[in-house]
Amino acid sequence: MPRKASLILSIGVMLMSAYGVYAATAWPWKAALFPLAIGIPLFCLAAVEALWAFFGGEPAARGAELEIAPPGRSTWIALAWMLGFFAAIVLIGFPLAVPLFVLLYLKLQGGEGWTLSIITTVTVAAVFYGLFDAMLHLPFPPGLLLSWLGLA
């Protein structure tokens, strides 16, 4: 049964991503870039999953009941990081929230050193700025906190 469900889901994802790519081809380049950049890899990954589900071997625990454990500590930590990232986006906006999140996550959750954390954060900030601001000219709304303080 898990293989059948995986096959059905992957075919559904393939159909949706194929439609998204097809629809985006009629749009101007800047508008189509994001759906194409997401839709094409998504279609390929879903196709691999469909092939794996269709031609793959039998599941290891055939006939065994799937036990679903209650959420553990790591699940709650991941949820807290996601909610924190969402709150940062709302309060200070995307351009500041993305590098701040990367830095804090690498230092606090990943336990990385300052050198790697700062180099990665600067790289992510540069790519984010270069792609979304300099190249695509996407305006991001300022965060609520920055708007309230009159800084945006």
How does pLDDT run across 75-119, given as a tens digit for each residue? 899 999 999 999 999 999 989 999 999 999 999 999 999 999 999
Prediction pTM value? 0.58
How does pLDDT run across 114-125, given as a tens digit for each residue? 999 999 999 999
- The rounded distance, in Å, linking the Cα atoms of 74 and 69 is 13
- The domain spans of the chain are 2-55, 73-148
Which residue shows structure tokens 């553990």? 72
Using an 8 Å Cβ cutoff, are 21 and 35 in contact?
yes
Amino acid at 37: A
Q: Which segments of the chain are extended strands (E)? A: none
How does pLDDT run across 6-62, given as a tens digit for each residue? 889 999 999 999 999 999 888 888 788 888 888 899 999 999 999 988 887 555 555
Using an 8 Å Cβ cutoff, are 51 and 40 in contact?
no
